[in-house]
A and B are shown apart, each in its own frame.
Chain A
Amino acid sequence: MPQYFLNIRDRGTLILDPEGDVLPGLREARDLVERTVRDIRRRPETYGCPDLWNSRSFEVTDQSGEILLEIAFSSVR
């Protein structure tokens, strides 16, 4: 199965995911990102102010570093 890296774009900075997740496909990668965003939003006492997260987005890449998905936090319902 392919490996997907959930990097986080924080304005000018790209926070790299050094480990990645092994998932069946892109759809599962999108699901994981969406579940993660909802969880982060649900627990601000742990993850910090939702406003801070809302200015970030996920850049999901494969092992070669190619961007496969860009998902803004604020776009996840």
Chain B
Amino acid sequence: MGRRDILIAANKPITHVHFLESGIASEVAATPEGRRIEVCITGREGMIGVPLLLDVDRTPHETFVQIEGDTLRIEAAIFRRLIEDRQSLRRILAHYAYVAHLQTAGTALSNGSHALEERLARWLLMCHDRVDGDEFPVTHEFLSTMLGVRRPGVTTAIHSLEGAGMIKARRSYVQVLDRTKLKAAAGDSYGVPETEYRRLIRSGR
């Protein structure tokens, strides 16, 4: 899957469930005027197509590829049969759906009550959790859309995290230098869904 590929189109029947092996997908909510904001990200820890698990065939949210990678996919009809036949599979995916819900709740809480630097730190940690290595592609413009803020706000927040030695930014890439410091910068905006994921699914990174 390449960057910007659409895995789930808004308001259209979901054709496949995707299980990412690498890369990251972004789920976005949009206003009728086209203003978009990110509500959830998924990498290899989860699945793309939670509505199908909940017996819903489509969603107003789009999911697209934010960082390119490899994916395995199953046709919607086959997936439905599979989760009916295999309760243990349905159960673990239900646990993921719950964790994804917590992530969206965390994003809402963060958007409403945390400063941009904390939100940026949270977002970078969430990407770092899902990629191999410490570096991943991201632009200020993309962050500004995903976080629903002005780009100069992103630029100054990145500058500030960089100045504190937490990250190194170079054109279209961010490298995490000090995860512990980045976690401190994110404060309580980061960690709730991650803890629940470890409790319910398995120990991650």
Contacts and interface: CB of A to CB of B under 8 A. Distances in A.
Interface of A: 6, 8, 10, 15-19, 21, 36, 39-40, 45-48, 58
B149 A19 contact: no
The 7 closest A-B pairs by CB, nearest first: A15-B159, A36-B150, A47-B153, A46-B116, A19-B140, A6-B152, A19-B141
B135 to A, nearest CB: 16
B156 interface: yes
Contacts of B115: 45-48
A46 B152 contact: no
A8 B152 contact: yes
B109 to A, nearest CB: 13
Place the interface of chain B in its size category: 10 to 19
Q: A interface, by DSSP: helix, strand, loop or mixed?
A: mixed
Question: Counting chain A CB atoms within 10 Å of each CB, which of B115, B117, B139, B171 scores highest?
Answer: B115
Nearest to B149: A46
Contact of A36 (B116, B141, B152, B171): B152
Given A45-B115, A46-B115, A17 B153 contact: no
Scoring B116, B117, B139, B150 by chain A CB atoms within 10 A of each residue's CB, the highest score goes to B150
A53 B169 CA distance: 22
A21 B151 CA distance: 10
